[in-house]
Amino acid sequence: VALKRMLNFNVPPVKNSTGEPVWKVLIYDRFGQDIISPLLSVKELRDMGITLHLLLHSDRDAIPDVPAVYFVMPTEENIDRMCQDLRNQLYESYYLNFISAISRSKLEDIANAAIGANAVTQVAKVFDQYLNFITLEDDMFVLCNQNKELVSYRAINRPDITDTEMETIMDTIVDSLFCFFVTLGAIPIIRCSRGTAAEMVAVKLDKKLRENLRDARNSLFTGDTLGAGQFSFQRPLLVLVDRNIDLATPLHHTWTYQALVHDVLDFHLNRVNLEESSGMESSPAGARPKKKNKKSYDLTASDKFWQKHKGSPFPEVAESVQQELESYRAQEDEVKRLKSIMGIEGEDEGAISMLSDNTAKLTSAVSSLPELLEKKRLIDLHTNVATAVLEHIKSRKLDVYFEYEEKIMSKSTLDKSLLDMISDPDAGTPEDKMRLFLIYYISSAQAPSEIDLEQYKKALTDAGCNLAPLSYIKQWKAFTKMASAPTSYGNTTAKPLGLFSRVMNTGSQFVMEGVKNLVLKQQNLPVTRILDNLMEMKSNPETDDYRYFDPKMLRGSDSSVPRNKNPFQEAIVFVVGGGNYIEYQNLIDYIK
């Protein structure tokens, strides 16, 4: 909503205006591009009158009779380039939108450039959009994509980090979270764990929200904010969790579709990039090997199959793709028939003379053909994506890893020794083995003895693993108080369901032989449990000492005592140091 409003020159788009949109160009930087691309397709941009969308730092030609909408971060180099655009008189008028608030001094730089270029009247509007976060789902956002290593777990937990670096990281995170709540139009009640980076974020965010509320004239949370109607009667809970409370889950191999795509394929901002294998045909001797084609697919909210199955266990997904394919094949003749009615194939006189009687049929063909072709496109897309995932599962034995790790995390008895798993040359990449061992190390109540550890280390080294992560986790485990009580992951494990029924049929696209048909049992991961305690106001040692911030309350006492005793209806969970799709899926299952 906020983006559409911005592209409409910062006035809400009128629903029923039949007129042509105002044609305009959109100029963004990489940050702006990342925010817009998961939300608006090129077609939607065109419908809003965007004829061209260009990167700010590319060579752009002057288009003197067109207004330009800018959507960029207020950085020094971006501002310089915008001033240059003003001087070169590239566009008819300029609507400047900053992703994050621009400082007074930089605003003055633009003003000076505009005066110098005699272009003051052309700068139509300057807006702080407070959109410095990326929405990937209706219920999920990430802070950033460009500089994500700057706010990563590693950046925050580096042993040699300086105080100023830490401040910068915290400010970056807080800026994005602040933008998120401005866009939501709600002031949260904040809970966080003590003595962690999450607490630093909470303190800063609380302060920033307070300062904004206190400045009544310029507060972003009064009057006609976008989301005012949505949450006005009840405020959301913001749970700030520190990644260190549970390091096993992000290392855990996974079994649901979306999480697998993210783990094994190149999946960023809802787009998956696949290398198409060029088939098995051997090229003639001496010929250059064929170049692999790169294909990219968008997995979006409008993709019904994705929406329905992104949280399903992989075998179910394979089965559903197969079903969709069969139901489409049944309709394929229909597609041919519709095409021939429309005279798309074989333009013989007969087809055309029959057109008059066929008008009724024709209208139905025109309406149902695109739908069927879209269905075909989605089936092809998911066949390719699922096949790529399956290749990883089979070549790396990911089903075995997943099941074994589930057993470790739920303290079940293990059917084969960890050492065998690590030494098996056919199972997994060095990284898979390292992840498995780290989960074992993190989850074990007492660390393995030095003699055992040496044996594991040797096996890991022989398997080609880099042991640096292990030394970090070793220190981490020694430091954290969590070491006294390892996180519990519930005591359920994945149950094999026997072999795949349908997918094992010979006609299937997916050769699933040897892959275990594992189903998931619902169990709450630590992040979900923490949310549950805080939302439902349950008393629990895990969360009882969480701090409580209410930016709307006056600072009288340390208000770590929750004021309201009612359960919350809405919550936002943010993991400082990075959440992941396993936890996202777990939260969604919990809500259901």
| Domain extents in the chain | 1-131, 134-246+525-591, 295-342+362-393, 398-483
- Class level of CATH domain 1-131: alpha beta
- For the chain, the first-to-last Cα distance in angstroms comes to 26
Rounded CA-CA distance 521/212 in Å is: 45
Look up residue 99 and give its DSSP letter.
S
Going by pLDDT thresholds of 50, 70 and 90, the confidence category of residue 545 is confident
Q: What is the DSSP string of 146-166?
A: TTGGGGSHHHHH-TT--HHHH
β partners of residue 50: 24
| Residue 174 neighbours by CB distance under 10 Å | 20
Q: Determine the pLDDT at residue 285.
A: 54
User: Do 287 and 565 touch, CB atoms closer than 8 A?
Assistant: no
Q: Determine the pLDDT at residue 114.
A: 94
CATH of domain 134-246+525-591: 3.40.50.1910
User: Do 31 and 144 touch, CB atoms closer than 8 A?
Assistant: yes
List the structure tokens of 105.
Answer: 């001094």
Rounded CA-CA distance 180/133 in Å is: 7
Q: Which CATH architecture has domain 398-483?
A: Alpha Horseshoe (1.25)
**% pLDDT > 90, the chain:** 60
Across the chain, what does the average pLDDT equal? Answer: 85
Contacts 24+ apart (CB under 8 A), 101-106: 101/74, 101/128, 101/130, 102/74, 102/126, 102/128, 103/74, 106/74, 106/76, 106/79
Going by pLDDT thresholds of 50, 70 and 90, the confidence category of residue 129 is very high
Closest C-alpha among 445, 443, 473, 446 to residue 457: 473
Q: Determine the pLDDT at residue 508.
A: 57
User: Do 183 and 226 touch, CB atoms closer than 8 A?
Assistant: yes
SS3 content of the chain, % helix, strand, coil (to 5): 45, 15, 40
- Statement: residue 345 has pLDDT above 80: no
Q: Quick one: three-class SS letters along 203-266?
A: HHHHHHHHHHHHCHHHCCCCCCCCCHHHHCCCCCEEEEEEHHHCCHHHHCCCCEHHHHHHHHCE
Alpha helices in 52-103, H assignment, sequence order: 76-87
- Statement: residue 34 has pLDDT above 80: yes
Same fold? 1-131, 134-246+525-591: yes
Name the 3-class secondary structure at 573. Answer: strand
User: Do 358 and 339 touch, CB atoms closer than 8 A?
Assistant: no
Q: Determine the pLDDT at residue 354.
A: 52
Going by pLDDT thresholds of 50, 70 and 90, the confidence category of residue 272 is very high
User: Do 106 and 114 touch, CB atoms closer than 8 A?
Assistant: no
| Residue 99 neighbours by CB distance under 10 Å | 27
pLDDT for 92-115, tens place per residue?
A: 999 999 999 999 999 999 999 999
**Across residues 3-31, what is the average pLDDT?**
86
**Across residues 38-46, what is the average pLDDT?**
93
Rounded CA-CA distance 411/492 in Å is: 9
List the structure tokens of 225.
Answer: 């904010």
Closest C-alpha among 208, 214, 206, 211 to residue 189: 206
**Cα of 313 vs its chain's centroid, Å:** 19
pLDDT for 147-183, tens place per residue?
A: 888 899 999 998 899 999 999 999 999 999 999 999 9
Burial class of 70 by CB neighbour count within 10 A (0 to 12, 13 to 18, 19+): buried
User: Do 187 and 567 touch, CB atoms closer than 8 A?
Assistant: no
- For 85, residues 6+ apart whose C-beta sits below 8 A from its C-beta are 27, 60, 68, 91, 94
Q: Determine the pLDDT at residue 381.
A: 94
Picking from 215-219, 356-360, 443-447, which range would have the lowest pLDDT averaged per residue?
A: 356-360
For 448, list phi and psi in degrees, rounded to 5.
-60, 150
Going by pLDDT thresholds of 50, 70 and 90, the confidence category of residue 436 is very high
Rounded CA-CA distance 481/142 in Å is: 29
Name the 3-class secondary structure at 104. Answer: helix
**Across residues 240-259, what is the average pLDDT?**
93
Burial class of 367 by CB neighbour count within 10 A (0 to 12, 13 to 18, 19+): exposed
Count the helices and strands in the chain (H runs, E runs).
22, 16
User: Do 237 and 534 touch, CB atoms closer than 8 A?
Assistant: yes
- Statement: residue 195 has pLDDT above 60: yes
Closest C-alpha among 580, 573, 585, 590 to residue 193: 573
For 408, list phi and psi in degrees, rounded to 5.
-60, -45
Q: Quick one: three-class SS letters along 313-376?
A: EHHHHHHHHHHHHHHHHHHHHHHHHHHHHCCCCCCCHHHHHHHHCCHHHHHHHHHHHHHHHHHH
